[in-house]
A and B are shown apart, each in its own frame.
Chain A
Amino acid sequence: MRIIKVISIIIAITFASCDKVEPPYQSGFDCLSGNKKVLIEDYTGHTCVNCPGAAITAHEIQSNCEDRIIIVSVHAGFFAEPLPGSDFAYDFRTEAGEEWNNFFGIVSNPNGLVNRVNYDGNYVLAPGQWAEEANKVLGENSPVNINIFNVFNPSTNKLTTKVDGEFVGNTVGDYNLIVCLTENHIIKPQKNNDASIGVVGTILDYEHMHVLRKVLNGNWGEGFVTGSATPGQTITKTYEISFDGTDWLPENCNIVAFIYDVADKSVLQVNESPLVQ
């Protein structure tokens, strides 16, 4: 009899360990707390069948806090290799992307980084983890805001970009600035296995977004803060890049600039600005 009582209690506890979620299933981001923006780096490749799904995940996160979430799609690694003579002959890869891919230990796609935060020795997050980590970052305050001023001169085919770091809090340590050029609306083939996104197999007219095209100031950027910075201080860097010899369309391009801690690579602040307003 005692056994039956014990079993009944255990069964009751187990049934209680059961959360039935009723619609609507959607929750919400906290876009109002903090001032830190979020950098989602989506490490991807055109022959990676699960990558369109990850791109949708990143876009879905961004659509919740449009101004505060910035995406960079880094085509690197095995699935980004061009396959000459096939639909996948185009080379999306960049020198910086390949170096980051190796440094952060990305061995499969899709995977990504959220503000390059190191979680117990690991930077890499599966797409399903991006939203949760992005939401954490949104609640944080950054001691610096980034302003980007782009001037594209069609006659010289050159872009001049000025990046200001306006410090609103004390900052101690060494920080670098990385300035990237990204491009949207690139129509090229992509492998896919999600029927809700497009044809399963190869989507010939897939729209690639946020594609990393070039890092303007070296794969790991250049020094921005050495030792410390104080509120009221503004640090400015200016870069120039020519579009000659490239297939980049200025009207589809953006500059993404981020400041990161040299010691642990975590992003202190990020911002994005289109080349053509």
Chain B
Amino acid sequence: MKRITFIAFLLLSVFSVLSLKAQIGNVLDQSQVHGSFQVDGQYYQSDKALGITDSLLNGHRVGLNGFGNIIYTLGNLSAGLRYEAYLSPIAGFDPSLDGDGFPYMYVSFTDEKFSITAGSFYEQFGNGLVLRSYEEWTLGYDNALNGVRLIYQPIRGLILKGVYGSQRKFWDKYVKNGRGTVRGLDGEMNFNELFASMSDSKLRVVLGGSMVSKYQIDANPIYKLPENVASFAGRANIGLGKFNLSTEYAYKINDPSAINNYIYKDGEAFLASLSYSTKGLGLFAQVKRIDNFSYKSDRDVTVNALDISYLPPISETHAYALTSMYPYATQPNGEMGFQLLVNYKVPKKSKLGGKYGMGIAIEYSQINDIVRDQVDDTTFINQKGTLGYASDFFKFGDHVFWRDFNITIDKKFNRKWKAIIQYMYQTYDIATIEGHPGEPVVSSRIAVADITYKFTSRKSLRTEIQGLWTKEDMGDWAALLLEYTVSPHWFVSVTDQYNYGNPVKTDQVHYFSVAGGYTRETTRFQIAYGRQREGIVCIGGVCRQVPAASGLSLTVSTNF
């Protein structure tokens, strides 16, 4: 009997092991692993012309920012984590990033109708006016939510989302009554999917609505602060033929904070865009109004962290060194603006278009302050601990923050030559945007010629010639870039930005730099040596300051 039991046990064990092995085999066959890695390193050297001395560097010779991102999926299940290291952060990144660890970890289950995520996640409701958690490596910005997210699609055309969590703040662990928590709901209806009668309609309608609330304890002995601050948003996206209208309005109840000087006024945000697109022609117009709409999960934070809302920019993001010298940063306390954009493609074989046609883009954007009036005779505008001010929704303030007129012509002449020519006129209120009160508004004219000559199908030389002329700030600049590419693997470049018009003679400095790069499939190496000018980098209206630096930089990135 014992022998039979033993043999039965043995057979069972063997079958179990074989079954487990088969299961592991199946699991491994169905599994997928994706990931990405990047390391940005910088070696700093002293540079007398830039005022960088050994004592200023104070031993801080190396900065390193890096991350590794791994995502594992198995059927409906997915899990991921990200390791980050800032040892120490590259100059210009928030010093609070100093450190390393795993700030992002999640596990998620998704089927046809339902998805649940526990851990860290990124989410956006509509345009992000009341909720957007995202990560932007170039800015060192990450406001990931840590908590739970549910997404439910009960029927085709209707999506419901719910989120609950706290936001990432550098390496600070969430502690009770530390920073606040965020909870939100979003619903979106696609009428063309929801109603069979509209499935083939030329009219496309998507409507959505969001509600978000943050909770933060009030322990402030000076003011009675709201512990629960809610915001609401409604949006519509309507398309008819070649036209498309997209709009969103958001409202936030009293949210006194360090950003708005602890005023109790409700906040508003409005975005609307209208576009028309046909072959060879695109027209785009948008308007935006922001009134007291900074929305953070810690009311005392003023740095780039813990934003719940995202206020999209309506100014064009420029790519060239000198056209991006004065980028616009969104003003969450109040701004009102519009953008007009025309894209026209001159047809091929026309007199102006030639053999390949010609692209013309004209853009104009302007952003002003909002109008602020006293709420009563005894209260100053924006006085702490009051309603702050009253503002007419439809009135532009006189104070111009930003104005940008630019025209871009893109022309291919023949198989060897092509060029992009750009001219722009910018007005930039440096006092408001960069926080330099008293400094005059910068009015600049900028011209760029970007010319590419192809030696062969793989080898080309690209030349950028740029000029910026202004009487304000640092005066006139000239820039030159020569970039030789052997596609798809190699490039080398030399650049110089010369601040020849700086009113201070000793600051008329050349910012030389040489760079080289190698790309193999999804892996890229890039090395550069030279000077980096002081300035600000903005992505999506969110900016960080970059100090002047001199030295060697290295970037290695890959994904799989």
> Do A and B associate with each other?
yes
A residues touching B (Cβ–Cβ < 8 Å)?
3, 7, 10-11, 14-15, 17-21, 23-30, 49-50, 53, 56, 60-61, 64, 107, 120, 126-129, 131-132, 134-136, 191-196, 200-202
Known contacts A21-B264, A27-B224, A196-B382; A135 and B435 CB within 8 A of each other: no
Cβ–Cβ contact B213 & A18, under 8 A: yes
Q: Is B172 an interface residue (CB 8 A)?
A: yes
Known contacts A15-B230, A19-B229; A131 and B215 CB within 8 A of each other: no
What are 7 residue pairs bridging A and B, where the CB atoms are less than 8 Å apart in the complex?
A7-B160, A19-B253, A23-B387, A25-B223, A25-B224, A64-B221, A120-B175
Known contacts A17-B213, A17-B228; A3 and B223 CB within 8 A of each other: no
Known contacts A49-B437, A193-B437, A200-B431; A20 and B253 CB within 8 A of each other: yes
Cβ–Cβ contact A21 & B299, under 8 A: no
Bound-complex Cα distance A205 to B300 (A): 29
Bound-complex Cα distance A126 to B383 (A): 19
Taking residues whose C-beta sits less than 8 angstroms from the other chain, chain B's interface range is 35 or more
Interface 0/1 of B157-174, CB less than 8 Å to A: 000101000000000110
B-side contacts of A61, CB under 8 Å = 222
Cβ–Cβ contact A135 & B219, under 8 A: yes
Q: Give which listed residue, A128, A200, A201, contacts B300 with CB less than 8 A.
A: A128
Would you give the shortest CB distance from B138 to chain A, in whole angstroms? Answer: 21
B-side contacts of A21, CB under 8 Å = 224-226, 254, 264
Bound-complex Cα distance A132 to B178 (A): 12
* Smallest Cβ-Cβ distance to B158: which chain A residue: A3
Would you give the shortest CB distance from B115 to chain A, in whole angstroms? Answer: 16
Interface 0/1 of B182-197, CB less than 8 Å to A: 0101010000000000
* Smallest Cβ-Cβ distance to B217: which chain A residue: A132
Cβ–Cβ contact B185 & A20, under 8 A: no
Cβ–Cβ contact B258 & A127, under 8 A: yes
Question: Known pairs A17-B230, A49-B437. 7 more at Cβ < 8 A?
Answer: A14-B185, A29-B221, A120-B173, A128-B258, A128-B302, A132-B221, A191-B437
Q: Give which listed residue, B227, B264, B383, B435, contacts A196 with CB less than 8 A.
A: B383
Number of A-B contacts (CB under 8 A): 120
B-side contacts of A17, CB under 8 Å = 183, 213, 215, 228, 230
B-side contacts of A134, CB under 8 Å = 221
Bound-complex Cα distance A11 to B212 (A): 10
Q: Give which listed residue, B172, B211, B220, B381, contacts A131 with CB less than 8 A.
A: B220
Q: Is B246 an interface residue (CB 8 A)?
A: no
Q: Give which listed residue, B183, B220, B221, contacts A14 with CB less than 8 A.
A: B183
Q: Is B301 an interface residue (CB 8 A)?
A: yes
Cβ–Cβ contact B264 & A25, under 8 A: yes
Cβ–Cβ contact B438 & A14, under 8 A: no
Would you give the shortest CB distance from A100 to chain B, in whole angstroms? Answer: 17
Q: Is B154 an interface residue (CB 8 A)?
A: yes
* Smallest Cβ-Cβ distance to B299: which chain A residue: A128
A-side contacts of B243, CB under 8 Å = none
Cβ–Cβ contact B185 & A60, under 8 A: no
Closest CB pairs A-B (n = 9): A201-B438, A128-B300, A17-B213, A18-B230, A19-B226, A135-B221, A128-B258, A193-B437, A14-B211
Cβ–Cβ contact A10 & B225, under 8 A: no
Cβ–Cβ contact A107 & B185, under 8 A: no
Known contacts A7-B160, A25-B385, A25-B386; A132 and B437 CB within 8 A of each other: no
Bound-complex Cα distance A71 to B385 (A): 22
Cβ–Cβ contact A53 & B438, under 8 A: no
B-side contacts of A24, CB under 8 Å = 224
Bound-complex Cα distance A191 to B436 (A): 9
Would you give the shortest CB distance from B398 to chain A, in whole angstroms? Answer: 15
Q: Give which listed residue, A29, A56, A64, A126, contacts B302 with CB less than 8 A.
A: A126
Q: Is B488 an interface residue (CB 8 A)?
A: no
Bound-complex Cα distance A129 to B382 (A): 20
Task: Pick from A27, A128, A193 the residue with the most CB of B within 10 Å.
Answer: A128
Cβ–Cβ contact B221 & A10, under 8 A: no
Bound-complex Cα distance A128 to B223 (A): 11
A-side contacts of B211, CB under 8 Å = 11, 14-15
A-side contacts of B162, CB under 8 Å = 10
A-side contacts of B95, CB under 8 Å = 107
Bound-complex Cα distance A30 to B230 (A): 29
